[in-house]
Structure 1
Amino acid sequence: MLSPPFSQANSLRPPGQAALVPLLVRHDSGLLNPMKDAAQTLEVELSTPRLDKMAKWLWLAGLPRPARPLHRQLQLQRSIHLTESVDEHLIWHESSIFIKPVPEYLLNFEFWTSRICGDVALYKCACGLLFSYAWLVGHKSDFRIAQNTGIIPDDISWGQWTDFMRDFIARVQPRLTHHISNRYTYGELRLSRLNTLYRFTTPISARKLVIGFMSTSNRRKIFFKQHFGWFLAAFAYISVILSAMQVGLGTDALQNSAQFQNVSYGVSLSAIYVVIISIAFIVIVWFGLFWFHLLSTLGLTKSVNYKHFVV
């Protein structure tokens, strides 16, 4: 039997667990009641199964080093967005980073004893998640940012936080690899690369190909902008090349050059083929997305189970 990674004296939440867990937890297309489905709720709240499946490829999405503290995130001009999905914790996209607020039950000594310490895998996930807040909140400035953004409860003082974290780190640090899950070998992970890895390193499905690891928008306009914006740049380069060739053909030196004539002929035909194929591909993808969302909606409507809404 494992023991909590901090002493009871440094517990930041008093005995009593009902007020510490969420009211409801979303799982797939249904809802979990933490008071009835305690074990499954903790599994959803703390484990990172999707990232675990890509563990050997995560070096492509992030570096094996601690996440940068919150004040540094602001210096990088990143906006902090809260997420309750632990799989999305410390994932960044463009000028945003997603951070899960500290689960208050992880600050309660009795909760660890009764719910977490009996499960080794869950214990490592919980320790890893808690350790990530030591990365994020190392200075008092980080602590103020964390409380202002809702990452840390506002009734905890800086002194209480430092006592708690020093105790936690002292107990976990000596055997770090045995106390935290592999996901927390890495700090921040890049969403664009995670989407690619998730699509092609796990069993491929239509849903994974369309949505990826985490969708930032359900609008097709945004989807095409993110994935096909480079087409516009390619078309611009092709236009410049064709314009330059047209100018060249208007000069006496190149107009009489058989080699330049052949190159211009080949490039012109290639440009036409590329444009036609690209437009056809975009149209096919658009219709594919349309039918994917339509069939997904119809399938979900037919299989709706109102028991999912009863908790």
Structure 2
Amino acid sequence: MANVQCSATRLLPPFSIKQSLSDLANTSRPVAVRSDSQILLCAIEPTRYLVSELKTPRLDRIHEHLWLAGLPRPARPLHRQKLMNRTILITENPDEHLVWRESEIFIKPLPEFLLSYESWETELSQDEELHQCACGLLLSYSWLICHKSDFRIAKEVGLIPAEIEWAQWNSFVGEFLSNINSQTLQQVSKRYRYGELRLSRLHSLYRFTPSVFSIDNLVRGYMSGSTWYRVFFKRNFAWLLAVFVYVTVILSAFQVGLATEKLERNRHFHNASYGFAVMSIVIVVLSILAIFTVWIVLFWYHLYSTRKYVTKVEVMRQKLAISEG
């Protein structure tokens, strides 16, 4: 495992130059990406690009609670994801890599520079945290692509470069794993000590964990989805429909019972029917009030946050225009 240990000056690539599947000259990188403030940056500097491609700051903030969202075991291979009827959705955000919800899983395509020995030597090996994140992302692909069927699915979906052959990939991963302790995981970032993470649990962690609590996190959760209120209420209040169905069935049963000769004069049954009927009315009224209150709060929050964001961007652009002028 000498390849990933600290040498006298820096870290080393986790594979030899003979196993390199790409070179830095042929590694295509975007000329424009979004910054943390959602501003488009052109001709981005390499360090900031690598940070945006590899680091997982949002997951690192709640790492001690990640056991609530997933298990410390490898992610399932791609063929198993298909067998579970999961749709593979492409994401370029490393914080969303291997996050799943219902019948979908988000996977980040493997950056080509991770296959380049020169890229590791000149860029990734200069920063220990970046090195660990890069090793972690490569490790996750050793989980996802175990068989030839996984390799074929990865190519079909566009997760790995089309020009790589199965024999090359097998040899590359074999040497990489020989330089990584897959038991202790000391050479990878702490995020990759967990495999798949459940999005609904991440939403709860980001909404209610004191260390990351904010109004914005309370409303948006971990990963903002559709901005349609209809979708929001369908996803978060669908359980109310089941409650109403059960209440309706029970009320119908009480009504039938009161119509029978045996229960018509039963005082205890009459009291139970009366109590449940009143409770049902209260539940319905409170549910409607709760939904209406949530809608009002969300409406005004989004209105306020939108106006605040617009003002912030306008001020920033004015400052940039003054400084450039």
Range of TM-score over shorter length: over 0.9
Separation of aligned partners in 1, 2:125 and 2:39:
25
Deviations 1:146-200, CA, capped at 9 Å, x for gaps: 1111100101111221121111111113675220111111111111111111211
Pair 143,174 (structure 1): closer, same or farther in 2 beyond 3 Å: closer
> Using the alignment, how far apart are the partners of 2:216 and 2:255 within structure 1?
45
Q: Distance in 2 between matches of 1:174 and 1:76?
A: 25
2:150 and 2:172 mapped to 1: Cα distance? Answer: 16
Q: Indicate if the aligned counterparts of 2:31 and 2:44 stay in contact, CA closer than 8 A.
A: no
21, 29, 33: which one aligns with 1:25: 33
Matches within 5 A, 1:53-132: 53-132=61-140
Q: 1:63 to 1:279 in 2, by over 3 A?
A: same
RCO comparison, higher one (Cα < 8 Å, 6+): 1
Aligned with residue 284 of structure 1, among 277, 282, 293: 293
CA-to-partner distance for each residue in 1:35-93, whole Å, 9 max, x for gaps?
Answer: 44322222222111111122122122111111111111111111111100001001111
Distance 1:85 1:7, change over 3 A: same
AA of the residue aligned to 2:122: S
- What is the letter of the counterpart of residue 251 of structure 2? L
In the alignment, the residues of structure 2 paired with residue 288 and residue 112 of structure 1 have an alpha-carbon distance, to the nearest angstrom, of 48
- Seen in structure 2, the aligned counterparts of structure 1 residues 276 and 303 have a Cα distance that, compared at 3 Å, is same
- AA paired with 1:221? R
1:29–1:308 Cα contact (<8 Å) kept: no
Does the aligned pair in 1 maintain the 2:32–2:44 contact within 8 Å? no
Take 1:26 and 1:258, find their aligned partners in 2: how far apart are those partners?
69
Change (3 A) 1:138 1:109: same
- Residue 286 to residue 174, structure 1, CA distance change in 2 (3 Å): closer
- Which residues of structure 2 form unaligned runs of 5+? 1-9
Give aligned pairs, total: 309
Specify the code of the residue in structure 2 equivalent to 1:28. Answer: D
Following superposition, the deviation at residue 26 of structure 1 comes to: 1.9
Unaligned runs of at least 5 residues, structure 1: none
* Counterpart for residue 188 of structure 1: 196
2:252 is matched with which residue?
Answer: 243
The answer to whether the Cα contact below 8 Å between 2:53 and 2:94 also exists between their aligned partners in 1 is yes
1:219 to partner: Cα distance: 1.2
Is the contact between residue 206 and residue 217 of structure 2 (CA under 8 Å) also seen in structure 1?
Answer: yes
The reply to whether residue 134 of structure 1 matches residue 142 of structure 2 is yes
Distance 1:147 1:234, change over 3 A: same
Contact 2:11 2:126 in 1 (8 A): yes
TM-score (norm 1): 0.93
For residue 260 of structure 1, the aligned residue among 220, 245, 269 is 269
Q: Which secondary structure state, in structure 2, belongs to the residue aligned with residue 25 of structure 1? A: strand
Secondary structure of the structure 1 residue equivalent to 2:224: coil
- The alignment yields a C-alpha RMSD, in angstroms, of 2.1
* DSSP 3-state at the match of 1:80: strand
Alignment check: 8 A CA contact 2:15 2:176 kept: yes
Q: 1:275 to 1:74 in 2, by over 3 A?
A: same
Whether the aligned pair in 2 keeps the contact of 1:70 and 1:137 (CA below 8 Å) is: yes
1:215 paired residue number: 224
Q: What letter is aligned with 2:176?
A: F
Q: Identity, % of aligned pairs?
A: 49
Partner of 2:58: 50
Aligned with 2:71: secondary structure? coil
* Amino acid across the alignment from 2:13: P
Instruction: Give the match's secondary structure for 1:30.
Output: coil
1:242 Cα deviation (Å)?
1.2
Question: How far did residue 11 of structure 1 move?
Answer: 1.1
The amino acid across from 1:267 in the alignment is F
Structure 2 residue corresponding to 1:296, chosen from 297, 305, 310:
305
Query: Given the superposition, is the C-alpha separation of residues 130 and 250 from structure 1 closer, same or farther in structure 2, using an over 3 Å criterion?
Result: same
Structure 1, 249-258 or 223-232: larger mean CA deviation: 249-258
CA distance in 2, matches of 1:82, 1:301: 29
